[in-house]
Amino acid sequence: MPSSDIGPYKKGEGHPQISGIFPKYFRCMVRERKEISLIEAVRKATFLSAETMGLKQKGRIKKGTDADVVIFDIDTMIKPQKAIFSPVGVKLFQILGYAS
């Protein structure tokens, strides 16, 4: 299960890990090392994390749950060099059904 030890930051501040930990996880574990499948990587980053933390409304796409969705291109995904930038390859973030 991928994780990060980051905390809250003001906009424009912080460490690149804020927006880079998951792109790095997918790029390294799935695309470069081929240690796990894309489906397993998504499960570990979403459902497994939510289940472990007891977040019943998160981690799955199902009627009645929160509509948190990230659409990305695994072939172009790289982590940003600075925390203020979005990762390359991430096409859309939706939190509770609203584009962010």
Q: Dig out the tokens for 84 from the structure.
A: 């203020």
Which residues, in sequence order, are bridge partners of residue 93? 70
Q: What is the pLDDT along the chain (100 residues), one digit of tens a residue?
A: 776 666 666 766 666 666 678 888 888 899 999 999 999 999 999 999 899 999 999 998 888 888 788 888 888 887 666 655 667 777 877 788 777 6
**Residues 79 and 54: beta-carbon distance below 8 Å:** no
Looking at residue 9, the DSSP 8-state letter turns out to be -
What is the structure's pLDDT at 44? 93
pTM of the prediction? 0.74
